[in-house]
Structure 1
Amino acid sequence: MDGRGVPLSLIVTGANVNDGKRLDEVLGAIRVKRESPPTRRHKHLCADAGYRSADNARTNDKHGYIPHVVDRRREADIKRRDPKKKARRWVVEVCHSWFNRFRKLLVRYEKLERSFLALNHLAAAIIAFRKVPLKVNIIYG
């Protein structure tokens, strides 16, 4: 996800698979290619404690990301000191909520993985389209 919560890549795995083991697939499946950042800017990846392994650190280096893994206790201390700062993982939780609003995806009834993946890609496209600022109302012209 980018900073606004727009999904950039999507993969489907089993519920019993750890997220950290699929980091290379997720970063490799990014559909929105961006220009390489200037030398003073970098690509940042905010994650939770499940992404602290050495394999994930190598994956982040390979894809050019700087990982930001903050445990919940330290994040609570930062929040207590400055209440205006919000948690970085909040963006991910909001995007999950947007996906849950598509009721067909909330409970997986699709038997084929390709059907479920196609519905998720359609939902991601709708979410991305809703985040694009438009000057004209597309329904009424």
Structure 2
Amino acid sequence: EQVAELGYVLHLRSRGEEKEEKAAIPGYRARRWVVERTHSWMNRFRRLLIRWEKKVENYEAMLHFACAWICFRCAEVFG
């Protein structure tokens, strides 16, 4: 309601619509949003999931390390 007032269009489908589309298309697989996928990858790093660091600089450094590690793995730099 408020989103429509700002001029945005909602692109989410109800669960019933997803089930219908899944049944109609063989091999259909639901797509995950980029943000959901990224959060899933970040949650694999326990130090980010449970914030052990007390200093912001240390937490931010670990966040950068995790992002770099994810990029290297996606680029298959380490095999």
TM-score normalized with structure 2 length: 0.61
Residue 94 of structure 1, CA deviation: 4.0
**Gapped runs of 5+ residues in structure 1?**
1-51, 58-66
Q: Please list, as runs of the form range in 1=range in 2, the aligned pairs for 1:97-136 lying within 5 A after superposition.
A: 97-134=40-77
Cα pair distance change 1:88/1:56, threshold 3 Å:
farther
Q: State, as a whole percentage, how many aligned pairs show the same letter.
A: 41
SS in 1 for 2:29: coil
Q: Please list, as runs of the form range in 1=range in 2, the aligned pairs for 1:12-51 lying within 5 A after superposition.
A: none
Residue 113 of structure 1, CA deviation: 3.7
What is the number of residues matched between the two proteins? 76
> Which residue is equivalent to 1:12?
none
> Which residue is equivalent to 2:11?
69
Higher helix share: 2
Residue 132 of structure 1, CA deviation: 0.7
Supply the AA of the counterpart residue of 1:69: H
> Which residue is equivalent to 1:78?
21
> Which residue is equivalent to 1:40?
none
Q: Which has the larger radius of gyration?
A: 2
TM-score normalized with structure 1 length: 0.40
Supply the AA of the counterpart residue of 1:110: E
**Highest relative contact order (Cα 8 Å, sep 6+), 1 or 2?**
1
Higher strand share: 1
**Gapped runs of 5+ residues in structure 2?**
none
Cα pair distance change 1:70/1:76, threshold 3 Å:
farther
